[in-house]
Amino acid sequence: MEELRSVAVTAAAGIQGDFRGAVRPGRKPRRQVSLMEIESWQAALDDLGATDLFGERPPWHARRANLLVGGLRFPRESGYVVAVGPRLRLEVTMECDPCSRMEEVVPGLKGALLPDWRGGVLGTVLVDGEIALGDEIRIER
């Protein structure tokens, strides 16, 4: 995982540099971009009392989500549009279920991320755009 301050996001390739967002010929993308609420990450860690030997919490990117959002609660459903920055538009296609790798981060984390869509949402790119740390994010119906 690599933290970026800005990045291009396109319908053809997803997030620049992330091979998982590329659209394969003849397929419809459903998982180009993953988004997670910081509040959901923190709630899962709180449930587990998760800290390392130094009293630090695992960083959000251990979840392997593309974008971290604060102060916005995603609807617990698919089919709505998330606007990021001035141009980027993402259609939320499904819940992002946590994988077994979360157990390597903190034992029990996979289970703590399962309820109430805590693992985040997945989406596909509708409108290309450049995004940057601190960009406005909002829900468009």
In a domain, 94, yes or no: yes
- The predicted model scores a pTM of 0.90
In a domain, 79, yes or no: yes
In a domain, 22, yes or no: yes
Number of Cβ within 10 Å of residue 94's Cβ equals 15
Angle at 29 between CA 25 and CA 32, to 5 degrees: 120
In a domain, 1, yes or no: no
In a domain, 17, yes or no: yes
Domain of residue 74, CATH code: 2.40.33.20
* Count of domains for the chain: 1
Boundaries of domain holding 113: 6-140
Residue 58: C-alpha distances to residues 23, 67, 96, 104 (Å): 31, 16, 19, 11
pLDDT tens across the length of the chain (141 residues): 778 889 999 999 999 988 888 888 888 888 999 999 999 999 999 999 987 667 788 888 889 899 999 999 999 999 999 999 999 999 999 999 999 999 999 999 999 999 999 999 999 999 999 999 999 999 997
